[in-house]
Chain A
Amino acid sequence: MGCIENLKYEMLLPLGASFKECREYVEKNFAEVWYVDPGYKLFDEYIIGLPPIALGLDGGKIVFPYTKPCHGTYLLRIEDDDEAARVRRTARKKK
């Protein structure tokens, strides 16, 4: 992984999860879900995927898909209060 690899992250779904599995997991398991489009910048990386891309928020923790060409999509959780606040300001909230 790129810069995100250097952050303290938890992996919620095993390697090789499909992008749609990650979206379904977020929508099913998080009360606060936000949507962004591909190319949205998160933790200084551009998010890849099929729109809409679901992000789960839990306080300052952000759950998001992170796609790498050879491994598929990881579903990661990283705590960052500032980035969570920015997501709440700039993303679309699930109704």
Chain B
Amino acid sequence: MTEATEIPGNASGKISGKALLLLGCPETPAQQAIALYLAHQLKTHGSDLLIIGTPSVLNLLRVSDPAKHYIGPMMVLEKCIEEIVEKRRTVDLCIVCAHNDAAIAYAATMRHLLPVSRLVVIIFGKDPGPLAAAIDFPCEKIVEKAVHNPMQLKAKVNEVFGWVASRT
């Protein structure tokens, strides 16, 4: 299920401006893959990307991409939220990866703190339906049952951002 209703997507695929990728708990492997893919695509399409998450999730990315081919600047969640609350950081696009209730709470927080930014919530894991149904704030939702295999999730991400799907 892909729901993109409240805020229009960018059909050209170009994502300019400041983007924020908020990662949840790293226990679901698909997140790692989709995070690296999003980082690559956003950078390729002209975005100034900051990745935020727990120290563990950021270390997973650092180890996976030691030469930083895909990832760029990263920051722990709490520090970034502090900067947004204190209006020291602006964001044009916020993407939240969510596979548990806590991540939905973080997405709701971002909606409140960034009321005019484009917010895309990627809901995945073993049973993403109830989590997606719990979202009652304006955002674009990408919903896919994905734990180990990110391919369908990647296809839906491509669809929402207007990226041409690759064969790999």
Report which A residues bind B (CB closer than 8 A).
2, 18-20, 37-39, 41, 45-46, 48-51, 67-73
The answer to whether A69 touches B108 (Cβ under 8 A) is no
A46 contacts which of B57, B78, B105, B134 (Cβ < 8 Å)? B78
- Cα separation A73 to B105 with both chains bound (whole Å): 9
Interface on chain A toward B: helix, strand, loop, or mixed SS? loop
The answer, yes or no, to whether B85 is at the interface (CB within 8 Å) is: yes
B81 at the interface (CB under 8 A from A): yes
In the complex, the number of residue pairs spanning A and B with C-beta atoms less than 8 Å apart equals: 65
Closest to B109 in A: A38
* Contact, CB under 8 Å: A45 / B134: no
A39 contacts B78, CB within 8 Å?
no
Query: 6 closest pairs, A vs B, by CB?
Result: A38-B109, A70-B25, A50-B108, A39-B85, A38-B112, A18-B101
B102 & A73 in contact (Cβ 8 Å cutoff):
yes
List 11 A-B residue pairs with CB atoms under 8 Å apart, sorted by A's residue number. Answer: A18-B101, A19-B105, A38-B112, A45-B78, A46-B81, A46-B85, A49-B105, A51-B112, A67-B106, A70-B25, A70-B27
